[in-house]
Structure 1
């Protein structure tokens, strides 16, 4: 009895309207800007890429170049004069004042 009442209600109900219109988004999800991609989490980018990198750091005292990881977790000393080149923080390593650096190419 209850089952047949349910089908009677279904027969009387109106059909769903068809949805033929296309909704335009406020921004293009397939072609995000470079700035927008940089702010995103490294795993949620369109193409995954790390936030870390290697860099050549030049000592201000003896001008020797040392390769340092951007997110180094230990104090990095100069090979020539034992000057502190960078100190670890919670994320990226902090370069000592006067040290110049350049990002290494992969």
Structure 2
């Protein structure tokens, strides 16, 4: 997994905690130590920077998401933490999430194959 900035990692840790993952599971998923996860939980999520008013750009071909204040704020926060364009950060976040799902699916399939081989 590509290393996340500290601010982004704190956001991800808070999100995964809200969705019921334990600190040990989060540490494993993000490939960081349990102490790092516990410190991120103590410090909480970083404040969301105020979004600058923007003129809506014409939608690019491909994946389109409905515009919302929360989506704009989330993308701006991620873009600020990476010092990158919003679209680049969105692509990266989608890639990271998909890669984590691929790893979990691969692990499940491998476990199923091992179990079937035993029977």
- What's the TM-score once normalised by structure 2's chain length? 0.19
More helix by share: 2
TM-score by length of 1: 0.20
Higher RCO (C-alpha 8 Å, min separation 6): 2
